Chains A and B, each alone.
Chain A
Amino acid sequence: DTGVSQDPRHKITKRGQNVTFRCDPISEHNRLYWYRQTLGQGPEFLTYFQNEAQLEKSRLLSNRFSAERPKGSFSTLEIQRTEQGDSAMYLCASSLALGNSYNEQFFGPGTRLTVL
């Protein structure tokens, strides 16, 4: 399968614990995006990378959240001191950006986080 993959698919944790999610983009894609989706809502943008550079972060991304893409391939999203309000589906997407042309974002299946 050459699509975007995410691991784990489900995570249950207790309030106050740290969690880390991984995203593996489509191999030739240089852009990687993180979104968060709560029940009944559309995905909300969190952050995105071009290669290893983090180009934009949403105000939603509090200082408890950190994302990395150290070698410009896979990315990790860490949430420290989780809160019940962090419970959501965390989506990763990737795209191939070439100059100013439009580039489709391909989404992974998501990681569902439940904070007890």
Chain B
Amino acid sequence: GDSVTQMEGPVTLSEEAFLTINCTYTATGYPSLFWYVQYPGEGLQLLLKATKADDKGSNKGFEATYRKETTSFHLEKGSVQVSDSAVYFCALERNQGGKLIFGQGTELSVKP
């Protein structure tokens, strides 16, 4: 069945460091791919998305590119801030408007 695998956390970085959180997926067809973020004490929020191969999603300085050949959607940010500390979830959706399938989440902690 469909699945999403993320790199395990926690990831601890210093402020202004470069961030990569790896995400790979298994799915039939051409899923849409997402990154959701959960800040401490808050609900899940969509961070960015890509709906077809080679699309790049971006938001708040974060980027991820839909790579069909490697079935990956890695999250990157050039310079992290303390306020980026959160849990990040990679997810896929196969049928537009249908269920999301999430990875296990990666906790990011950014130290000043």
Contacts and interface: CB of A to CB of B under 8 A. Distances in A.
Contact of B97 (A35, A43, A91, A103): A103
A41 B96 contact: no
Given A91-B44, A102-B51, A43 B100 contact: yes
Given A107-B44, A108-B43, A42 B104 contact: yes
Interface in B36-93: 36, 42-46, 49, 51, 89, 91
B45 A107 contact: yes
A42 B98 contact: no
B99 A40 contact: no
A73 to B, nearest CB: 18
Contacts of B89: 42-43
Contact of A105 (B4, B100, B104, B105): B100
B80 to A, nearest CB: 21
Interface residues of A, number: 28
How many B residues are at the interface, by size bracket?
A: 20 to 34
A56 B111 CA distance: 42
A74 interface: no
Given A42-B89, A107-B44, A102 B96 contact: yes
A56 B101 CA distance: 14
Nearest to A44: B102
Contacts of B98: 48, 56
Contacts of A35: 100
B103 A42 contact: yes
Contact of A31 (B32, B49, B51, B97): B97
Interface string A92-106: 010101001111111
A72 interface: no
Nearest to A50: B97
B51 to A, nearest CB: 6
A109 to B, nearest CB: 5
Query: What 8 pairs across the A-B complex have the smallest Cβ distances?
Result: A42-B102, A45-B99, A107-B44, A97-B97, A109-B43, A107-B43, A43-B102, A103-B97
